[in-house]
Amino acid sequence: MKNLDVRCAADSRDDLGEGAMWCPAEQVLYWLNIPMPSRLHRHDPATGRHESWAMPEMITALAKRRDGTLLIASHHGLNRFDPREGRLIRVAVPEADKPENRSNDGAPDAQGRFWMGTMMNNLGPSGEDLPIAAATGALWCVNPDFTFHKAIDGIMITNGVAWSPDQRTLYVADSAAQVIYAYDFDPASATVSNRRVFSDDKSLGYPDGAAVDSEGGLWSARWEGQCVARFRPDGRLDFTVPIPAPRVTSIAFGGRDFRTAYVTTARHGASAGELARFPRQGSLFAFDSPIAGLPRPQFAG
In tens, the pLDDT along 267-300 reads 999 999 999 999 999 999 999 999 999 999 999 9
Residue of 14, 105, 109, 208 marked catalytic: 208
Of the pLDDT bands very low, low, confident and very high (cuts 50, 70, 90), residue 2 is confident
Q: Each residue of 259-272: pLDDT tens digit?
A: 999 999 999 999 99
- Identify the DSSP state of 127: S
pLDDT at position 116: 98
DSSP 73-90: EETTEEEEE-TTT--EEE
Q: Residue 38's pLDDT is what?
A: 98
Q: Is 213 a catalytic residue?
A: no
What is the chain's Cα-based Rg?
17
pLDDT recorded at residue 48? 97
Query: 187: how many CB neighbours lie within 10 A of its CB?
Result: 15
**pLDDT of the residue at 129:** 95
| Kind and range of the H or E run holding 161 | strand 158-163
**What is the predicted pLDDT for the residue at 3?**
86
**Would you tell me how many other CB atoms lie within 10 Å of the CB of residue 284?**
26
So what CATH class is 7-288? mainly beta
Average pLDDT, the chain: 97
- For 109, half-sphere exposure in the C-beta direction (CA atoms, 13 angstrom radius) is 27
pLDDT tens profile 135-155: 999 999 999 999 999 999 999
The fraction of the chain above a pLDDT of 90, given in percent, is 99
271 vs 131: CA distance, rounded Å: 20
Amino acid present at 27:
Q
The pLDDT value given to residue 165: 98
Q: Is this model's pTM higher than 0.95 or not? A: yes
Residue count of the chain, please give it: 301
Q: What is the C-alpha to C-alpha distance for residues 264 and 221, in angstroms, rounded to an integer?
A: 9
